[in-house]
Structure 1
Protein backbone atom coordinates (compact mmCIF):
# COMPACT_ATOMS: atom_id res chain seq x y z
CA UNK A 1 0.00 0.00 0.00
CA UNK A 2 2.84 2.35 0.84
CA UNK A 3 4.32 1.61 -2.57
CA UNK A 4 1.11 2.62 -4.34
CA UNK A 5 0.90 5.84 -2.33
CA UNK A 6 4.53 6.57 -3.12
CA UNK A 7 3.97 6.02 -6.86
CA UNK A 8 0.84 8.22 -6.82
CA UNK A 9 2.70 10.96 -4.94
CA UNK A 10 5.61 10.87 -7.38
CA UNK A 11 3.22 10.93 -10.34
CA UNK A 12 1.27 13.84 -8.84
CA UNK A 13 4.43 15.87 -8.34
CA UNK A 14 5.91 14.89 -11.71
CA UNK A 15 2.65 15.30 -13.65
CA UNK A 16 3.11 19.02 -14.61
CA UNK A 17 6.59 18.25 -15.89
CA UNK A 18 5.43 15.14 -17.73
CA UNK A 19 2.53 17.06 -19.29
CA UNK A 20 4.94 19.72 -20.55
CA UNK A 21 7.26 17.03 -21.91
CA UNK A 22 4.39 15.36 -23.79
CA UNK A 23 3.23 18.70 -25.18
CA UNK A 24 6.77 19.44 -26.34
CA UNK A 25 7.01 16.06 -28.02
CA UNK A 26 3.62 16.66 -29.73
CA UNK A 27 4.77 20.10 -30.90
CA UNK A 28 8.01 18.69 -32.27
CA UNK A 29 6.08 15.95 -34.07
CA UNK A 30 3.78 18.57 -35.62
CA UNK A 31 6.79 20.65 -36.59
CA UNK A 32 8.36 17.64 -38.29
CA UNK A 33 5.16 17.27 -40.33
CA UNK A 34 5.09 20.94 -41.34
CA UNK A 35 8.83 21.54 -41.79
CA UNK A 36 9.19 20.15 -45.35
CA UNK A 37 6.40 22.43 -46.59
CA UNK A 38 8.02 25.41 -44.83
CA UNK A 39 11.36 24.62 -46.42
CA UNK A 40 9.71 24.52 -49.87
CA UNK A 41 7.92 27.82 -49.18
CA UNK A 42 11.15 29.51 -48.07
CA UNK A 43 12.94 28.21 -51.18
CA UNK A 44 10.21 29.64 -53.43
CA UNK A 45 10.31 32.98 -51.61
CA UNK A 46 14.10 33.05 -51.81
CA UNK A 47 13.87 32.37 -55.56
CA UNK A 48 11.63 35.42 -55.97
CA UNK A 49 13.53 37.91 -53.81
CA UNK A 50 17.08 37.15 -54.91
CA UNK A 51 18.13 38.31 -58.40
CA UNK A 52 18.48 35.33 -60.73
CA UNK A 53 19.10 36.95 -64.12
CA UNK A 54 15.52 37.71 -65.12
CA UNK A 55 12.95 35.44 -63.52
CA UNK A 56 12.55 36.77 -59.98
CA UNK A 57 10.34 39.51 -58.60
CA UNK A 58 13.54 41.29 -57.62
CA UNK A 59 14.68 41.28 -61.24
CA UNK A 60 11.27 42.59 -62.32
CA UNK A 61 11.48 45.33 -59.69
CA UNK A 62 14.96 46.29 -60.86
CA UNK A 63 13.75 46.45 -64.48
CA UNK A 64 10.78 48.59 -63.42
CA UNK A 65 13.03 50.99 -61.49
CA UNK A 66 15.32 51.32 -64.50
CA UNK A 67 12.38 51.94 -66.85
CA UNK A 68 10.89 54.55 -64.51
CA UNK A 69 14.24 56.33 -64.28
CA UNK A 70 14.55 56.26 -68.09
CA UNK A 71 11.03 57.63 -68.45
CA UNK A 72 11.88 60.39 -65.98
CA UNK A 73 14.86 61.35 -68.13
CA UNK A 74 12.73 61.27 -71.27
CA UNK A 75 10.06 63.45 -69.63
CA UNK A 76 12.72 65.94 -68.51
CA UNK A 77 14.05 66.09 -72.09
CA UNK A 78 10.54 66.61 -73.48
CA UNK A 79 9.88 69.38 -70.94
CA UNK A 80 13.14 71.07 -71.92
CA UNK A 81 12.14 70.83 -75.59
CA UNK A 82 8.71 72.31 -74.85
CA UNK A 83 10.28 75.19 -72.92
CA UNK A 84 12.69 75.85 -75.79
CA UNK A 85 9.83 75.76 -78.34
CA UNK A 86 7.76 78.08 -76.12
CA UNK A 87 10.64 80.60 -75.98
CA UNK A 88 11.08 80.37 -79.76
CA UNK A 89 7.33 80.88 -80.28
CA UNK A 90 7.34 83.94 -78.02
CA UNK A 91 10.32 85.36 -79.90
CA UNK A 92 8.61 84.67 -83.22
CA UNK A 93 5.41 86.39 -82.03
CA UNK A 94 7.45 89.41 -80.96
CA UNK A 95 9.25 89.54 -84.32
CA UNK A 96 5.95 89.13 -86.18
CA UNK A 97 4.35 91.95 -84.19
CA UNK A 98 7.34 94.20 -84.95
CA UNK A 99 7.21 93.40 -88.65
CA UNK A 100 3.45 93.92 -88.70
CA UNK A 101 3.92 97.40 -87.22
CA UNK A 102 6.65 98.16 -89.76
CA UNK A 103 4.39 97.04 -92.61
CA UNK A 104 1.54 99.14 -91.30
CA UNK A 105 3.88 102.13 -91.12
CA UNK A 106 5.05 101.57 -94.71
CA UNK A 107 1.48 101.18 -95.90
CA UNK A 108 0.47 104.50 -94.29
CA UNK A 109 3.50 106.27 -95.82
CA UNK A 110 2.69 105.08 -99.31
CA UNK A 111 -0.93 106.30 -99.12
Structure 2
Protein backbone atom coordinates (compact mmCIF):
# COMPACT_ATOMS: atom_id res chain seq x y z
CA UNK A 1 0.00 0.00 0.00
CA UNK A 2 1.21 3.47 -0.83
CA UNK A 3 1.86 6.08 1.80
CA UNK A 4 -1.42 7.40 3.22
CA UNK A 5 -2.57 10.83 2.09
CA UNK A 6 -5.59 13.01 2.91
CA UNK A 7 -7.69 11.89 -0.06
CA UNK A 8 -7.08 8.20 0.56
CA UNK A 9 -7.74 8.57 4.30
CA UNK A 10 -11.02 10.40 3.65
CA UNK A 11 -12.15 7.72 1.18
CA UNK A 12 -11.26 4.88 3.54
CA UNK A 13 -13.07 6.49 6.45
CA UNK A 14 -16.16 7.02 4.28
CA UNK A 15 -16.00 3.36 3.26
CA UNK A 16 -15.63 2.38 6.93
CA UNK A 17 -18.72 4.39 7.91
CA UNK A 18 -20.71 2.56 5.25
CA UNK A 19 -19.22 -0.88 6.00
CA UNK A 20 -19.73 -0.51 9.75
CA UNK A 21 -23.27 0.88 9.23
CA UNK A 22 -22.51 3.85 11.46
CA UNK A 23 -25.46 5.81 10.03
CA UNK A 24 -27.89 2.99 10.83
CA UNK A 25 -29.23 3.14 14.39
CA UNK A 26 -31.12 -0.13 13.84
CA UNK A 27 -27.84 -1.94 13.12
CA UNK A 28 -26.74 -1.31 16.71
CA UNK A 29 -27.89 -2.10 20.20
CA UNK A 30 -29.64 1.00 21.60
CA UNK A 31 -27.04 1.45 24.34
CA UNK A 32 -24.14 1.19 21.84
CA UNK A 33 -25.40 3.54 19.16
CA UNK A 34 -24.85 6.90 20.92
CA UNK A 35 -21.06 6.36 20.97
CA UNK A 36 -21.09 5.08 17.38
CA UNK A 37 -23.13 8.11 16.31
CA UNK A 38 -20.62 10.44 18.03
CA UNK A 39 -17.70 8.67 16.36
CA UNK A 40 -19.45 8.90 12.97
CA UNK A 41 -20.02 12.62 13.46
CA UNK A 42 -16.34 13.07 14.27
CA UNK A 43 -15.35 11.00 11.25
CA UNK A 44 -17.48 13.13 8.94
CA UNK A 45 -15.99 16.29 10.47
CA UNK A 46 -12.48 14.88 9.95
CA UNK A 47 -13.29 13.99 6.33
CA UNK A 48 -14.10 17.65 5.68
CA UNK A 49 -10.75 18.70 7.12
CA UNK A 50 -8.93 16.04 5.10
CA UNK A 51 -10.59 17.41 1.98
CA UNK A 52 -9.42 20.94 2.76
CA UNK A 53 -12.79 22.25 3.92
CA UNK A 54 -12.12 22.99 7.58
CA UNK A 55 -14.93 24.44 9.61
CA UNK A 56 -16.13 24.22 13.14
CA UNK A 57 -14.77 25.15 16.51
CA UNK A 58 -11.76 24.22 18.59
CA UNK A 59 -14.11 22.15 20.76
CA UNK A 60 -15.31 20.17 17.72
CA UNK A 61 -11.72 19.55 16.69
CA UNK A 62 -10.81 18.36 20.18
CA UNK A 63 -13.88 16.09 20.30
CA UNK A 64 -13.03 14.62 16.90
CA UNK A 65 -9.47 13.87 17.99
CA UNK A 66 -10.66 12.13 21.16
CA UNK A 67 -13.39 10.14 19.39
CA UNK A 68 -11.14 9.00 16.55
CA UNK A 69 -8.26 8.23 18.87
CA UNK A 70 -10.47 6.02 21.07
CA UNK A 71 -12.50 4.37 18.30
CA UNK A 72 -10.00 1.65 17.26
CA UNK A 73 -9.61 0.32 20.79
CA UNK A 74 -13.32 0.54 21.62
CA UNK A 75 -14.26 -1.42 18.49
CA UNK A 76 -11.36 -3.90 18.38
CA UNK A 77 -9.86 -2.38 15.23
CA UNK A 78 -6.45 -2.52 16.89
CA UNK A 79 -6.77 -6.27 17.54
CA UNK A 80 -6.03 -8.16 14.29
CA UNK A 81 -6.96 -11.48 15.91
CA UNK A 82 -10.54 -10.15 16.18
CA UNK A 83 -10.86 -9.35 12.47
CA UNK A 84 -12.71 -11.59 10.07
CA UNK A 85 -10.13 -13.03 7.70
CA UNK A 86 -11.91 -11.84 4.57
CA UNK A 87 -12.05 -8.26 5.92
CA UNK A 88 -8.56 -8.07 7.42
CA UNK A 89 -6.97 -6.01 4.64
CA UNK A 90 -9.79 -3.44 4.71
CA UNK A 91 -9.79 -3.16 8.51
CA UNK A 92 -6.01 -2.68 8.47
CA UNK A 93 -6.35 0.11 5.87
CA UNK A 94 -9.20 1.78 7.74
CA UNK A 95 -7.21 1.63 10.98
CA UNK A 96 -4.24 3.22 9.24
CA UNK A 97 -6.54 5.93 7.85
CA UNK A 98 -7.98 6.69 11.29
CA UNK A 99 -4.52 6.92 12.86
CA UNK A 100 -3.31 9.11 10.00
CA UNK A 101 -6.37 11.35 10.44
CA UNK A 102 -5.79 11.74 14.18
CA UNK A 103 -2.27 12.98 13.36
CA UNK A 104 -3.66 15.43 10.78
CA UNK A 105 -6.26 16.75 13.22
CA UNK A 106 -3.67 17.22 15.96
CA UNK A 107 -1.70 19.44 13.58
CA UNK A 108 -4.82 21.62 13.13
CA UNK A 109 -4.77 22.71 16.78
TM-score range, shorter chain: under 0.3
Task: Give the TM-score, by structure 1 length.
Answer: 0.22
Bigger relative contact order (CA 8 A; separation at least 6): 2
